[in-house]
């Protein structure tokens, strides 16, 4: 199949994914949020969220393989720290890493109709990176949620890498883990760049590999230990990336 034809097919599939997920959200989110609000049944939002991500992935042709699930402790909340290659990463990791995963997300997303309200009901925590005061308050809110048993997904690079190489890490995810004394699970995603290039709205069919590393403990650590902790997590993610894509 020629490159132009592949792009055209991908554009059509992307449009189908965007429309399909939008309709799914419009039809299911309002009753789901009502149930969550009236009966404190937050679980319904996760069921719908996973369903929406699965629908979008199938329509766009996104597949995935996961290795290392045995590293996820069944009885402790954790902080997942993942590299970030494309806009496909967050929803796919949300679906695959944990059945009830909370997310630290950019506060600008609160402005999106329905989505912002669903994030709030689901316990996701918005962070305004431009405001140190708001960032500190958001991390404390997330730490309280983490101590209550809710695992979080974070992207310590803070943005998508254009080359696939790890960008410098920001401190927020590590402050969160140390404040809550929760273990960090390093995560390496590969294939995201092939699925969705930065600046493009087209989602291309791709196979993503998601590797979960062994937990890195934070019990007993203080904020003064952040430098060493960040280096250990970065080294673990780099080693996971060096293993390459997961083979069948």
Per residue in 207-231, pLDDT (tens digit) is: 999 999 999 999 999 999 999 999 9
Question: Is the Cα torsion angle 111, 112, 118, 123 positive or negative in sign?
Answer: negative
| Burial state string for 187-204 with b = 16 or more CB within 10 A and e = fewer than 16 | bbbbbbbbbbbeeeebbb
β-sheet bridge partners, residue 67 = 211
Give 1's pLDDT tier (boundaries 50, 70, 90). low
pLDDT value of residue 37: 87
Calpha distance 46→187 (Å, rounded): 21
The residue ranges of every structural domain in the chain are 63-242
Asked if 216 contacts 229 with a C-beta cutoff of 8 angstroms, the reply is yes
Give 183's pLDDT tier (boundaries 50, 70, 90). very high
CATH of 63-242, one of 3.30.70.141, 3.30.70.270, 3.40.1130.10, 3.40.1280.10: 3.40.1130.10
């Amino acid at each position: 199949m020629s490159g132009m034809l592949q792009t055209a097919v991908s554009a059509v599939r992307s449009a189908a994914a965007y429309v399909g997920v939008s309709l799914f959200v419009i039809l299911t989110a309002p009753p789901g949020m009502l149930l969550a609000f009236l009966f404190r049944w937050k679980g319904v939002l996760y069921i719908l969220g996973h369903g929406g991500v699965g629908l979008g992935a199938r329509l766009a042709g996104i597949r995935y393989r996961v290795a290392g699930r045995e590293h996820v402790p069944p009885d402790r909340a954790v902080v997942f720290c993942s590299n970030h290659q494309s806009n496909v990463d967050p929803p796919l990791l949300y679906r695959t890493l944990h059945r009830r995963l909370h997310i630290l997300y950019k506060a600008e997303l609160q402005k999106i109709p329905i989505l912002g309200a669903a994030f709030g009901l689901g316990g996701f925590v918005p962070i305004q990176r431009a405001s140190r005061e708001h960032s500190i308050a958001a991390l404390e809110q997330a730490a309280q949620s983490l101590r209550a048993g809710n695992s979080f997904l974070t992207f310590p690079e803070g943005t998508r890498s254009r080359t696939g190489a790890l960008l410098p890490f920001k401190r927020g995810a590590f402050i969160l883990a140390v404040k809550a004394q929760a273990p960090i699970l390093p995560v390496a995603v590969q294939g995201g760049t092939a699925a969705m290039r930065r600046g493009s709205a087209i989602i291309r069919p791709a196979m993503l590999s998601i590797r979960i590393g062994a937990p890195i403990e934070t019990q007993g650590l203080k904020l003064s230990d952040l430098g060493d902790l960040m280096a250990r997590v970065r080294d673990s993610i780099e080693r996971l990336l060096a293993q390459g894509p997961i083979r069948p």
